[in-house]
């Protein structure tokens, strides 16, 4: 009698394990089929720069003094975003790092928002808003 109950218990456990495995196989197959029908779109690249409260004020007119050295580069004044407001950075003569050119900040409007991209010395021959 005891052997009979043991066999019945083993049969019940085996049946349950079999049903669990079958359910798991079905779930994996369904997930695979669903994933095969998915279309993956490339995410849009994040906007360059930081979102600011609005466009910068008009540039300040400045007189350019004589260069202090023959290799000095004039960097025109620009509005810099401080994180809370724009601050005017006056034009000035600067010594360019070897192989670098000055790139002025960029202010753009996209999707109803204003973005500020910092300027600075960048490697390469492109010169924007810098005069030798």
Spatial separation of the C-alpha atoms in residues 91 and 64, rounded to whole Å:
8
Q: What's the length of the chain?
A: 132
pLDDT digits (tens, 9 = 90+) for 97-123: 999 999 999 999 988 999 999 999 999
> For the chain, what is the total number of helices (H) and then of strands (E)?
1, 10
Confidence band (pLDDT; 50, 70, 90) for 49?
confident
Confidence band (pLDDT; 50, 70, 90) for 77?
very high
With a CB cutoff of 8 Å and minimum separation 6, the contacts of 128 are 101, 102, 103, 104
Start-end of H helices in the chain: 2-36
Spatial separation of the C-alpha atoms in residues 10 and 4, rounded to whole Å:
10
Query: 0.75 cut: is pTM over it?
Result: no
CB 95 within 8 A of CB 72: yes
Confidence at residue 28, expressed as pLDDT on a 0 to 100 scale: 55
Q: Tell me the β-bridge partners of 110.
A: 113
- Give the start-to-end residue ranges of the domains of the chain: 1-40, 50-131
Look up residue 129 and give its two tokens: 């808003």
Spatial separation of the C-alpha atoms in residues 124 and 117, rounded to whole Å:
18
Task: Specify the DSSP class assigned to residue 43.
Answer: P
């Amino acid at each position: 009698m005891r052997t009979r109950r043991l066999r019945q218990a083993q049969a019940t456990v085996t049946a349950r394990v079999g049903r669990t495995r079958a359910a798991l196989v079905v779930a994996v197959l369904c997930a695979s089929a669903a994933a095969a029908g998915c279309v993956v779109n490339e995410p849009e690249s994040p906007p360059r720069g930081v979102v600011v409260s609005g466009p910068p004020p008009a540039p300040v007119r400045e007189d350019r003094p004589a260069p202090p050295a023959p290799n000095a580069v004039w960097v025109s004044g620009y509005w810099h975003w401080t994180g809370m407001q724009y601050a005017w950075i006056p034009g000035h003569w600067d010594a360019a790092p070897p192989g670098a050119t000055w790139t002025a900040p960029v202010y753009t409007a996209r999707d109803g928002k204003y973005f500020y991209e910092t300027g600075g010395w960048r490697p390469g021959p492109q010169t924007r808003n810098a005069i030798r």
